[in-house]
Structure 1
Amino acid sequence: MLLCYVDESFKNDFYGFGAVVVDAEQTRRLTARMHELVASLGEYGVDPRTEVHAHPVFHGKEEWAAVPPRVRVKVFLEVVDAVRASGATVLLRGVRPDRLRRYQETRGYRDRYAPEQVAFQHLLQRVDRHATASDRHALVIADERADRDRHRERFAVYQAYGTPGTYMHTRLERLLDTVHFAPSHHSRMLQIADVVAFVWVRSQTVVERDPRQARVMAALVEDIERCSVGAGAWP
């Protein structure tokens, strides 16, 4: 069985989800590597239980305020390198809200779909396709969110009637049970998904002005996309 860990990242003009798809042994090894990585930062006052949350790590906020920029950069590099070395599969899907709204308005959609719903649906379709290709089933585990019940309801509708539209229409038959939501501060795997989603969404929305930062981000994105299957945004 596959485990699919999902988190989101977004800006005003882009809403994206990143997923890390792994088996049990990959989950065990990646979790251990994350524990080791955080434990190695004790000299900077980082508690071994600290969450690797991409936004504060990137900007040096909260528990990461005393950590030098070069060390915080290394955290991103180490996380992405661990994903690449593990053989995990990364899935990345995004939606541009303004273009989605215009598309629905010009076609007179009676039901308007929110960008996070569309992006998550597109991600689930690709998880299902990936599980089918490997002849396995998958369990989806996502970071906790306020609208989790709505996502569970939609998941149930997709499995009963199929995903909306004809493109990649599926009943998600390879996905088990429901979408399980968990707090990311208790899951190193969800923290990895958060890092992956953050880097990818930033690459789609921000032009890096610092040449050194631009080189690091380009290297991170290259490694992430090397592990990915079907990365892309709608439309």
Structure 2
Amino acid sequence: MLLCFVDESDQGDFHGFAGLMADEHATKAITGTLNRIMRQISVDWGIPATTEFHGHPIFHGKEAWKHVPTRVRVGVFHKVFDTIVAEDVVILLRWVHAARLAERQASNFYPVNFPPEQVCFQHILQRAQQVSVNRDTHALIIADDRHDRDRHRERFATYQTQGTPGVYMQTNLDRLLDTVHFAPSHMSRMLQSADMLAFIYRRMHTVTESDPRAAREMARLWQTLVESGRMHNEGNWP
């Protein structure tokens, strides 16, 4: 069985989700390695060993990371990504363009206009289903806690009884177990890994780096994911 850890990152018209699919062995290995990395950061820079790997404050040097030098914080991203791709995982990255989605729904007279984050989360579920079929197994979805969690649970139940909307990748998610489980990311290194993936994915698509050094590091991080062969059907809609 696989666990699929999901987190999001939004900015403007970009509504994106990252999913990290791993079995129990990869989950334990990634969690253990990230705990060791954070313990060393704690020794070197005096932040708590329980500090969360959270893309935004690490990148911008905020919160617990405000006194940690830029070079170290950049290195944290590389260490996290190297840790992820070293294991037998599948990385799901999808985003929805809010304005283009609204235009498409209006021009095609969609009977129901779903919000972009719901459409994107559906895409993640469909791809988690696809990976589970390909590996002849099942998966459990664990997402970062959010205020609209009940609506996502309701839609998940509808997908399983009536199928996902539309004909593209239409499925009743029969390989996904139970419901969508929501958990606080600060208690899960795997959800933190999904957050780091989602943050870099969003920034790659929404920011033109003014500092060539930042642009170079972003390109290196993306190259790590691409060359790992761990990504499954990355893309955007419409």
TM-score, normalised via structure 1 length: 0.98
CA offset at residue 186 of structure 1?
0.3
Matched letter for residue 144 of structure 2? D
Number of the residue aligned with 1:141: 142
Number of the residue aligned with 2:231: 228
1:167 and 2:136 correspond: no
CA offset at residue 110 of structure 1?
3.3
Which has the larger displacement, 162-171 or 204-213? 204-213
CA offset at residue 17 of structure 1?
0.4
- After superposition, the C-alpha distances for 1:26-51 in whole angstroms (9 at most, x for unaligned) are 00000001101111112312100011
CA offset at residue 208 of structure 1?
1.2
Matched letter for residue 119 of structure 2? V
1:201 and 2:197 correspond: no
Number of the residue aligned with 2:39: 39
Separation in 1, partners of 2:67, 2:36: 19
Number of the residue aligned with 1:67: 68
CA offset at residue 230 of structure 1?
0.2
Separation in 2, partners of 1:109, 1:6: 27
Number of the residue aligned with 1:26: 26
Q: Which structure 2 residues correspond to residues 86-165 of structure 1 after superposition, within 5 A?
A: 86-165=87-166
Number of the residue aligned with 1:6: 6
Which has the larger displacement, 210-219 or 190-199? 210-219
Separation in 1, partners of 2:143, 2:175: 17
Separation in 2, partners of 1:113, 1:223: 33
- After superposition, the C-alpha distances for 1:157-189 in whole angstroms (9 at most, x for unaligned) are 000000000010000000000000000000000
Separation in 2, partners of 1:111, 1:170: 18
Matched letter for residue 182 of structure 1? A
Counting matched residue pairs gives 235
Matched letter for residue 13 of structure 2? D
Number of the residue aligned with 2:52: 51
Separation in 1, partners of 2:177, 2:20: 16
Matched letter for residue 234 of structure 1? W
3-state DSSP of counterpart to 1:50: coil
